[in-house]
Chains A and B, each alone.
Chain A
């Protein structure tokens, strides 16, 4: 712990504590976890940029079907590579204390594959494919049906895609969103 502590100045730690939902101890723990992904590199430079493949070694992200999307969304360089600050940002959003609205915002971005700020048919298709895994293939007809159902349920203004407010409406009403969209540090 002592060594990890020495990598941050007090001011930096205070900043992190102020701007995230973590306490100082948790921030250091986060850094420890970050460091365990690439011990030498981070040991030299605490803010080293790790490549996406390295970040995807993190247990929860490794098995997450949206791992690469999560990396891309939180990466400051938008290519999936992450510095410690990006990593902290990510853990912050996935933490328990994070409000539902912020979580919904990032969940929306993670699912918005084409980046048009709408969850269109193609986005939803990818989401469902990833959720079902590579072995379980839904046939086209089923897929269409599911997407149709989702849109019928959630697409209030009938424009064939979920906008953020519509998405947030679903997450607001869902009992399990907070439970499931969470990674413990």
Chain B
């Protein structure tokens, strides 16, 4: 921005160069994107000056290494010097005349009069602009190829040229090929380079035919290139082959994962009818289901299958040690109703089955004498550990990514609400006429609402009104806190009460789970109702607050339950008891989700259609249902350690849930007529999932390290604590080993403190960095604003000049012509047009032009 406030528009006449060449050179070495885009704009504006003439203008933009490249194509080169100067001056006159015609405002005049070069060429220009900043850093090669490419711009203002004909397309391909060929990273004969090349081509905003011929062209030139070099060593070939193998594998994995994608058509139908918000719930469901299926496969492979093998072996050898066999034979006489009840409660014959912890043995066996041993407890522990770690990693990375996309990258856009809403208003996935009509209405009413908010002056809140709002919200928050706390206490009392009863019949045990689940359901509606009463301005805020409260409620109830279960005195096999309790919870939740709620929905829809139309159809409450999924998942993770087959139940449940919910949605629910945005809420669900997983992992960590395992049953009956099997068996650590000493050192307070300090320093550093960035963004925005001001100033100046241009410009012309004649005999002389114009205008240097020098070169 060196040229702020200075006069930079010179018409220079020089020898030895074509006169009909007008160059716009950006003088600044802007590297930031925002700066760049202003420059681009301004250059566009300046270029468009030549619009009425059939000129071609060559743009040279300095990329950040200050290397200005030129691109040209022939204009009317046969003209004499004189003509050209004439034309240049005419051009300015013309522009001035144009802006003079529209007297409204110089800016709108500019906007209206410029018929900027339209689509294809401009798109190339934009694309190539990003190509310019490509350097040879191999790591960032891909990033740069696609998003930050160079800025050799090719720009024509001549309207006739926009029509595409064969020659034109050929030309374009030629240019694009040249563009790409400048980058060594893209032009090597390696697999990686090939991949980058394809990615570059894919990101090219060009029709397929152009891309194809471009690909051909590049292939030919690469072949030539390669044959010239001839220095491929075997090492080079090996790496090449390896990389191409990796790439191919990656591709195959992509294809397979795409094939595995279930419910593609269902989701498409839902999206077509209800838009992407509703389908985001189903996608969340599908994602969790996929996660659970992976868990199920692992559990089946490493825990259940070996255990089954062992059981069959054990029965064959008539070793009736396994409790499983005993369990079956003992309960054979039970009636059908007891069997069914047992199925619900997890008692009876299920208690010692593979469903729960006590069904697993602590044996180590080998299938065949030649095979190595398989230790069941180790398998159990390691599978669980790896599964929990895997899920933790998957969920945290996914959450981080979504969070980055929807909160951080989108941050700092406080003012762009309406623009963003308009741009993203239409959901392109909608394929149903009725949904489309509803969408139209929704957009219309949303726009109206925003307008009302803007035009109606804000409710002038009196101090009393504000105090009222403050107090009502404070009261609401306290009320909610009290409700949640009360729920926790109530649950505790209830659990105690139910537990003190010695009657352990099936119905009794089932009632705990039933009551808790129903309480949660009712409480959730109460909480949602309270937050609706609170009168928050934006519906999104209402939703978020309601969600947060519901999540707290759930967390409190679940943690009270877990605390109760862990502190309860057990006679034997407390692990199985915990597993059974969670099993009952999940079964009851399944009943509520799959039977009771659909039943209510159907009844309501029937009543509404038959008797009371005012009741309206049920609405599809995405937030509540998503939270239900999170709850479900929390229970599963809690129970998985002591009831490995729970995951199978959950998988079945989710399958059914998908179809039931889809049926409810398609037949009973109407598309919602208000727009609400899914992206942010979706992130919130992921955050909830993550928080619950974190809580579960901490709890399980506590269980593994602090609670002694029961000595009568289960795979860990011999090891005092669960983690010891890992320490002793897997790592084979002994007291005096280095690794063991290192571990004990690491968990010492000093070491932990040190780690905490390092982490806080890191956080502080990153925070400082992000603050600095934010400041920079602010600064850049101000700069853009200043640039705009400068432009306005320039335009105003031009307007001023035009007021008395009649005589002056004619003068200027004749002077220019005269000078030219003289320059032909003289060395290059700089003729400043401002001087000539201001000769009559007597104003100071007309204007600066945003860091651009507009020059006419006289060759």
Contact = CB atoms under 8 A, between A and B. Distances in A.
Interface stretch (B61-69, B414-422, B768-776): B414-422
Interface string B651-690: 0000000000000000000000000011110000000000
Contacts of A64: 426, 428, 430, 436
Nearest to B275: A180
B792 interface: yes
Contact of A132 (B45, B435, B444): B444
A115 interface: yes
A85 B208 contact: yes
6 contacts: A23-B254, A94-B428, A109-B123, A127-B422, A157-B784, A165-B36
Interface in B108-128: 108, 110-112, 114-119, 122-123, 126
Interface string B385-411: 000000000000000000001100110
Nearest to B795: A159
Contacts of B209: 76, 85
Contacts of B778: none
A16 to B, nearest CB: 8
Q: How large is the interface on B (under 10, 10 to 19, 20 to 34, 35 or more residues)?
A: 35 or more
Contact of A59 (B198, B272, B440): B272
A161 B111 contact: yes
B491 interface: no
B107 interface: yes
A176 B422 CA distance: 11
Interface of B: 36-38, 40-42, 44-45, 105, 107-108, 110-112, 114-119, 122-123, 126, 146-147, 164, 198, 201-203, 205, 207-209, 211-212, 215, 254-255, 258-259, 264, 267-268, 271-272, 276, 280, 405-406, 409-410, 412-413, 415-420, 422-433, 435-437, 440-441, 443-444, 447-448, 450-451, 454-455, 677-680, 781, 784-785, 787-788, 791-792
Nearest to A120: B111
B574 to A, nearest CB: 47
A158 B108 CA distance: 9
Interface of A: 15-16, 18-21, 23, 25-26, 59-60, 62-66, 73-74, 76, 78, 85-86, 88-89, 94, 99, 101-102, 105-107, 109, 112, 115-118, 120, 124, 127-128, 131-133, 135-136, 138, 142, 145-146, 149-150, 152-154, 156-161, 163-167, 169-177, 179-184
A161 to B, nearest CB: 5
B205 A106 contact: yes
A132 to B, nearest CB: 4
Nearest to B105: A160
Given A150-B418, A157-B41, A179 B679 contact: yes
A133 B44 CA distance: 34
Contacts of A150: 418-419, 422
Contact of B454 (A19, A20, A149, A182): A149
Given A63-B430, A64-B426, A109-B119, A157 B447 contact: no
Contact of B409 (A89, A112, A145, A173): A173
Nearest to B441: A136
B432 A154 contact: no
Contacts of A184: 264, 267-268, 271, 429
B651 to A, nearest CB: 25
Given A145-B455, A170-B419, A101 B147 contact: yes
Contacts of A159: 41, 45, 107, 110-111, 788, 791
A142 B451 contact: yes
A163 B426 contact: no
B142 to A, nearest CB: 11
A47 B784 CA distance: 47
A145 B423 contact: no
Contacts of B116: 116-118
B679 A19 contact: no
B677 to A, nearest CB: 5
Contact of B429 (A60, A128, A154, A158): A60
A154 B784 CA distance: 12
Nearest to A59: B431
A153 B406 CA distance: 20
A73 B120 CA distance: 10
A48 B580 CA distance: 64
A156 B253 CA distance: 44
Given A19-B211, A60-B272, A173 B410 contact: yes
Contacts of B422: 124, 127-128, 131, 146, 150
Given A173-B410, A181-B424, A131 B443 contact: yes
B440 A157 contact: no
A118 B433 CA distance: 31
A170 B423 contact: yes
B444 A116 contact: no
B409 A133 contact: no
Given A23-B258, A153-B416, A160-B107, A180 B207 contact: no
A107 B205 CA distance: 12
Given A164-B126, A170-B416, A173-B409, A131 B679 contact: no
Given A63-B432, A88-B208, A153-B419, A118 B40 contact: no
Nearest to A94: B428
5 nearest A-B pairs in the assembled complex, by CB-CB distance: A133-B440, A165-B37, A59-B431, A63-B436, A136-B444
Contacts of B205: 102, 105-106
A158 B412 CA distance: 20
B843 to A, nearest CB: 23
A18 B215 contact: yes
A180 B791 contact: no
A160 B785 CA distance: 14
Contacts of A174: 410, 413, 416, 420, 423-424
Nearest to B201: A19
Given A132-B447, A180-B276, 10 more contacts: A15-B212, A20-B208, A116-B114, A163-B44, A173-B410, A173-B420, A174-B424, A175-B410, A180-B428, A183-B429
Nearest to B785: A156
A60 B448 CA distance: 26
Nearest to B146: A99
Nearest to A142: B451
B441 A133 contact: yes
A167 B263 CA distance: 35
A179 B271 CA distance: 11
A23 to B, nearest CB: 5
Given A59-B272, A64-B428, A146-B447, A116 B416 contact: no
